[in-house]
Amino acid sequence: MLSCEEVVERASEYLDRDLGRWGRLKVRLHIAMCKHCNRYVLQLGLTTRLVRSRPADPLAPHVEDQLIESFRQAPPEA
């Protein structure tokens, strides 16, 4: 039986399905019985989904314009 601390260390690999069959089963058994670890794993998954869906910060307009200006001066080679 894994300890909570061990489950937490494997949580990312569990979510990414990178654990072997046996490793995966051990985590599943633990989180089926431990509400704290279950919560931790769910929250880690939610964190990942939030990071992925976070809208990009807008770029300062002068940065973009400056880059586009240099783009105009150096158009791609055909």
Site for Zn ion, rule CB under 5 A: 4, 34, 37
Find the shortest distance in angstroms from Cβ 65 to other proteins.
Answer: 9
Tell me how far apart the terminal alpha carbons of the chain are, to the nearest angstrom.
62
Minimum gap (Å) between residue 67 Cβ and other proteins: 5
d(CA 61, CA 55): 17
- Nearest approach in angstroms of CB 22 to other proteins is 18
User: Under the rule (CB under 8 A), what is the footprint of other proteins?
Assistant: 3-6, 8-9, 11-13, 18, 36-37, 39-40, 43-44, 46-59, 63-64, 67-68, 70-72, 74-78
Task: Tell me how far the alpha carbon of residue 36 is from its chain's centroid.
Answer: 20
What distance in Å separates the CA atoms of residue 62 and residue 71, rounded to the nearest whole number?
A: 14
Structure token digits, residue 12: 């990312």
- The smaller minimum CB distance to Zn ion, of residues 11 and 37, is found at 37
